[in-house]
Structure 1
């Protein structure tokens, strides 16, 4: 048992037990900071997780990633380019005003108006070229071309009150002034970097949540998060440190929920045709060309990584080696794509073939407070690359700094985790040729582009036949991953720890929803 955990367990046993107040307050330790309460400003998981408590979407997904009715009780494709959504009747916002079609249309328009967003939601709305309210509870949406996955797109757009937010800025949401939704909880307080307080919305159309109050405590470091759970300061923690999972499973005071999640951890690789910022020759001087733009170099990097050992040791078994950029079971996952075999000798041969027999110098970048064992992953891969002659340094940064710099293309090789419920969605966002107007490549940090892969993804997105759509998605993935557009590492296993007497289904999307944590 790690010494740190032993000390924490001793302290917990000496503490006075605190009984859960039934249906009173639930305290949850979050592993990542919430940077904005504006549900349309930044498309990252911590913000989406919080927004899901305050707002609803037209279409929702259950714990297994299946689409289920949300604010739209039903929807249908009228023809290949026309969709009709029927809203639930009797839904009211937190201020008591009724939900209408105008609120929905306003919410669908708003992401495109936030031009300063560092991670826009526009990829989910750009396909809509016309929209109208047929009546207060029916909307019609039109796309320029046939577009089968529109309902899945709309599961990512939160519906907000037009009256409360028509002239609001992102900071007006953080203050609570514009934070008026239809979700299971209402806003009660926000101390940036510390906690968010919510109060139950007794009028929620989905039924009353089991908790009158919820406090989300932001504890990004694993050890303090675990300490808070053991001391009884929180009732639930997400992202349990891998060394401590087995000990908590054996402790009768806690229960552990786990799920192979939708999140794939992979490397984005700078493929721009110019010197890359964190690559130099062995003498420290800038290179005339970017070696990472050569597919042989990217493949050598992939071959140098022993994924099975990384999963067994660095991830302590709480991951699955990846060959796809989506997880097994997700629409479009391709079993024909094999996990890259560990072959350091072959990697050295490829480097020599590409003109780098003596390697080069490279700095790997990653976050140190976002993914399970993220800093350890970066350090482990650096060791593997050094063994094939790529002299590798490591720089990890807090998420609040890391994402902004990575999206600007400041790094050469950067770690990213991504979850999606469909392969064509992930491909469009992660490896689609960047096109801000079309909403493609919004997280394509390496600036990869392949017209053939793009064409397959477009064909997938444009198909209303699910078999054809999946076939095109798999073809697009094979083309992009065949060129090492990104370098997959593993699919993350999500782990939650809860005080005895609580249960949680464990969601494939890794979200921690207070209204789905139940007393037993």
Structure 2
């Protein structure tokens, strides 16, 4: 009996670390958040982390279709009023109940977060929120607004206490207990990691993982090495050059899908003299980016197939608009701009720049797949066009702040590489945010870092946002896309392919929105 007891005890002790390991998940992420404040910056790494800890009134499935979230149901009371029934029995991490007061406090905070590089005001533009009772909220609009439920899936609800008294610094220091999600933040080390622990009081299904560690590993080779060494279970942003090798490794599993993220270039279109553009001798010139012909020439000088084949190793698709054509509201008429260096030179000459000019291009280093390589390649393409192009890449957090608000509240750069992943599954949001006329009071142009403005585009977007019929709205959005991209409001380069790799036995849910969610990772 003693021998049997000893054997049982030994087995039990042996099983402890194995069981512990089975409850823990480690993920290597290509991009880190700029903040844990869910309202500070409408940025994919921020939004992805927020999904674990905070929840929206309306949730999204893997295809970005709306589903119940903190609101159990919704309906139209009349053409100008939506009613949302809030879920009862939901508690914040501090033990307080979730009610309509938290919703009203949240929407009041959204447009007023200090120093936000890109806020969430566009999601509630033109909406008035009213409390009916403790668990009913009504949203009133000046005209029919079919996208209210979809827009309410784009931002997180926090407790009234956090909304009214917590700063971004409080969120980063984990002093706000105003979340309701399946996980809680337990540790945050900028540039290193964030640790999540399971919320055992969660109102929904219990999360599979007890602890989730998300490590920020910007270097792609280091991320792959960490996976192969078993230091992490899953990585996102698999570098294209490593995909064939990882697919052939019996210890590795892969998941992939076409992304909703477009990599594009924003251009200064609001200053007569742009800060990083001069004549070739360094003297001041009128901002050439104000001329459509110059913008078109720059687009024609970019060899998109070469970027896809040589830099992205085929893990991308040339882009012509904000979303791939399979998404709602895209134009079937638009095509990627063809590479035509001779034609681009003729356009520059017609615009009055036969000898080109000098320009500095800015971008983040390590935010998007091969972003620095893309910037270098495009700079060479522009130089062949006759535009002497220098580059400067900047750590993402600093880059986005300077690209959005700079030192004087205005975008700082002249020409910049960026990316945009749609928060919802149709084009209205990105068109309004990236190319709508910048207007904080209307929630338009929140991420319009070139300050492009076109009344015809604004009018079309306004009409689309008030059109209930899906077929008619899709047609209006397609027309809006044609207005924007035929005017070269921004220059799209390509859509990324999202690729994840995991240790054998871990299954990753591939998502078009690029989110690497612990709730979407399971053991086979």
Instruction: Map 1:420-431 onto structure 2 (within 5 A).
Output: 420=422, 421-431=425-435
Match for residue 137 of structure 1? 135
State the alpha-carbon separation in 2 of the partners of residues 214 and 46 from structure 1. 16
**Which deviations, in whole Å up to 9, do the C-alpha atoms of 1:446-469 show, x marking residues without a partner?**
111110111000001111111121
Whether the aligned pair in 2 keeps the contact of 1:22 and 1:519 (CA below 8 Å) is: no
* SS at structure 2 position matched to 1:429: helix
Match for residue 477 of structure 1? 481
- Within the alignment, does 1:400 sit opposite 2:404 as a pair? no
Match for residue 177 of structure 2? 179
2:437 to 427, 433, 438: 433
Match for residue 118 of structure 1? 117
Match for residue 7 of structure 1? none
* SS at structure 1 position matched to 2:25: strand
The offset of 1:164, in angstroms, is 4.6
Match for residue 10 of structure 1? none
Instruction: Map 1:333-412 onto structure 2 (within 5 A).
Output: 333-408=330-405, 409-412=411-414
**Which deviations, in whole Å up to 9, do the C-alpha atoms of 1:45-85 show, x marking residues without a partner?**
11111111001101111111211111112111222221001
1:199 to 197, 200, 219: 197
- Within the alignment, does 1:221 sit opposite 2:219 as a pair? yes
Match for residue 499 of structure 2? 495
Structure 2 vs 1, CA of residues 20 and 31 (structure 1 numbering), >3 Å: closer, same or farther?
farther
Instruction: Map 1:95-114 onto structure 2 (within 5 A).
Output: 95-114=94-113
Give structure 1 stretches of 5+ with no counterpart: 1-17
The offset of 1:165, in angstroms, is 4.5
For the aligned residue pairs, the C-alpha RMSD in angstroms reads 1.5
State the alpha-carbon separation in 1 of the partners of residues 93 and 402 from structure 2. 37
Match for residue 459 of structure 1? 463
The offset of 1:94, in angstroms, is 2.1
**Which deviations, in whole Å up to 9, do the C-alpha atoms of 1:379-418 show, x marking residues without a partner?**
1111111111112111111101211111132211101101
Whether the aligned pair in 2 keeps the contact of 1:269 and 1:486 (CA below 8 Å) is: yes
The offset of 1:178, in angstroms, is 0.9
Q: 173-182 vs 479-488, which deviates more?
A: 173-182
Q: 336-345 vs 185-194, which deviates more?
A: 185-194
* SS at structure 1 position matched to 2:309: helix
The offset of 1:252, in angstroms, is 0.9
Whether the aligned pair in 1 keeps the contact of 2:105 and 2:163 (CA below 8 Å) is: no
Match for residue 77 of structure 1? 76
Match for residue 13 of structure 1? none
Match for residue 46 of structure 1? 45
User: How many aligned residue pairs are there?
Assistant: 501
Match for residue 312 of structure 1? 309
**Which deviations, in whole Å up to 9, do the C-alpha atoms of 1:460-513 show, x marking residues without a partner?**
111111112111111111111111000011011111111110011211100110
The offset of 1:291, in angstroms, is 0.8
1:281 to 243, 261, 279: 279
The offset of 1:35, in angstroms, is 2.1
State the alpha-carbon separation in 2 of the partners of residues 294 and 145 from structure 1. 35
State the alpha-carbon separation in 2 of the partners of residues 168 and 282 from structure 1. 50
* SS at structure 2 position matched to 1:166: helix
* SS at structure 2 position matched to 1:26: strand
* SS at structure 2 position matched to 1:158: coil
Whether the aligned pair in 1 keeps the contact of 2:99 and 2:135 (CA below 8 Å) is: yes
The offset of 1:23, in angstroms, is 4.2
Match for residue 303 of structure 1? 300
